[in-house]
Amino acid sequence: MRQLQHVDIAVIGAGPAGLAAAAAARSAGAAVIIIERDDRAGGILNQCIHDGFGLQRFDCALTGGEYAHIDELACRDAGVELLTDTYVSSIERTESGFALHTMTTGLISVITAAAVILAMGCRERTAGAISLPGTRPAGIYTAGTAQRLTNMQNIMTGSRFLIIGSGDIGLIMARRVTLEGGSVAAVTEIQPYPGGLDRNIRQCLTDFSIPLYLETGIVEILGTDRVTGALIAPVGRDGLLDTTRSTHIPCDTILLSVGLIPENELTRSLDAVMDPVTGGPAVDEHLMTSVPGLFACGNVLQVHDVVDLVSQEAAHAGTCAAAYLRGERAEKRKTITLQAGEGIRYVLPQSMSAQGSTLLSCRVRKPMEDVTIQIRSGSELIYRQQLPYVQPSEMIQIPLDLSETAADTSVEVHCVRT
């Protein structure tokens, strides 16, 4: 066992969230360590060799690696300690904060910290999660695994692809394998609308003439040793797949892009209150969980669509964690719960103090045109904004200030037709 190390703030994960949180906490005066299981910082961005990152934050299109490199340099310049090849296997509360049990090759250590920022990102849903019918021949990958193999290990996973699910990673991989000389027969989506961003539909499918079949599911995967094809079918009026109208798609590889699951095993082990819709912990406006001194940001908190918002959210978590250590929490006021109302799937943060302010994030349940976002407390209308179009794949952010309102128990966010 290595000697125990103590820091003010331990950040778990060196993806864009962990890096931004650490830099912000360090520049607010805290001694910070980032613990990363991979051999380098950057998280998922390391496998994203396409550009499009940093458009909002830097006003230019960077690759994932370039974006992460800027934040890693900022951390190193600021004096953040970065521990790579180190896995946080468990975490427990102590009298003075937290004890993190870490593993590097052949070495188990304990790092104690007064506060912890969770930035472990998320993992992909697999074939098991969607009860994929048929056999399990070789040639079935999650889109992120295929992305890692193609971009980091130069391994092309197949030549003729079918992509199930229209999440952003699947769309990006449709373009990627096409550029590498493969062909994509189709992308299928069980919902009546795409799961990914409009810009990815245009740039990754339309520009390469790759068809997107909405309201279409997979009936059977074909092949014994290797995938030889799949049967797909449209959703019928009864909501089930209409197998009488199934189509055979010849392919040797199937990529799954069917959703992401925030990596919250450590969070749950601390009995933090979880939000069943986001899959992440419930937080207040300081991004602190129900466990005092435990903060969360990035994809472990809510799955984001653009990394710029991950960095923005994480920097806020870092600043708040440092303020928490200085004892600068606002005096205890009444807690307001923030709730998803009509047309809204979830709202984050889930609570905030009365008369406080926050940058609220939410997602709608389905695509809608000409809507009004309303924030209400009982009969009081606190905020309204008209939007021409909303869709679940695009997070909506609203600066919410309760200082002028009488709201003192709960606030609901609604999305209604204008």
Ligand X SMILES: Cc1cc2nc3c(=O)[nH]c(=O)nc-3n(C[C@H](O)[C@H](O)[C@H](O)COP(=O)(O)OP(=O)(O)OC[C@H]3O[C@@H](n4cnc5c(N)ncnc54)[C@H](O)[C@@H]3O)c2cc1C
Interface with ligand X (CB under 6 A), residue from 38, 51, 81, 220:
38
Quick note: the x/- pattern for ligand X over 16-35, rule CB under 6 A, is: xxx----------------x
Interface with ligand X (CB under 6 A), residue from 82, 113, 260, 371:
260
CB of 259 to ligand X, least distance (A): 10
Quick note: the x/- pattern for ligand X over 354-393, rule CB under 6 A, is: ----------------------------------------
Establish if 122 lies at the interface with ligand X (CB under 6 A): yes
Cβ-count burial 301-327 (b if 16+ within 10 Å, e if not) = bbbbbbbbbbbbbbbbbbbbbbbbbee
CB of 379 to ligand X, least distance (A): 38
Quick note: the x/- pattern for ligand X over 306-325, rule CB under 6 A, is: -x--x---------------
Q: What tokens does 109 get?
A: 């250590």
Establish if 44 lies at the interface with ligand X (CB under 6 A): yes
Establish if 119 lies at the interface with ligand X (CB under 6 A): yes
**Cβ neighbours of residue 317 closer than 8 Å, sequence gap 6 or more:** 17, 21, 24, 117, 286, 287, 295, 296, 297
Establish if 43 lies at the interface with ligand X (CB under 6 A): yes
Establish if 48 lies at the interface with ligand X (CB under 6 A): yes
Task: Say if strands 396-401 and 368-377 run parallel, antiparallel, or are unpaired.
Answer: unpaired
Q: 197 or 325, CB closer to ligand X?
A: 197
In whole angstroms, what is the distance from residue 152 CA to residue 320 CA? 35
Q: 204 or 407, CB closer to ligand X?
A: 204
Burial of 78 (0-12, 13-18, 19+ CB in 10 A): middle
Q: 121 or 349, CB closer to ligand X?
A: 121
Cβ atoms of 173 and 49 within 8 Å: the answer is no
Cβ atoms of 202 and 218 within 8 Å: the answer is no
CB of 217 to ligand X, least distance (A): 22
Cis check: omega of the bond before 133, within 30 degrees of 0: no
Cis check: omega of the bond before 388, within 30 degrees of 0: no
Establish if 58 lies at the interface with ligand X (CB under 6 A): no
In whole angstroms, what is the distance from residue 113 CA to residue 147 CA? 35
Task: Please give the full DSSP string across 49-72, using - where no structure is assigned.
Answer: -SEEETHHHHSS-EEHHHHHHHHH
Interface with ligand X (CB under 6 A), residue from 24, 120, 255, 338:
120
CB of 255 to ligand X, least distance (A): 11
Establish if 144 lies at the interface with ligand X (CB under 6 A): yes
Residues that bind ligand X (CB under 6 A): 12-18, 35-38, 43-45, 48, 87-88, 119-122, 124, 144, 147, 168-169, 172, 260, 263, 298-300, 304, 307, 310
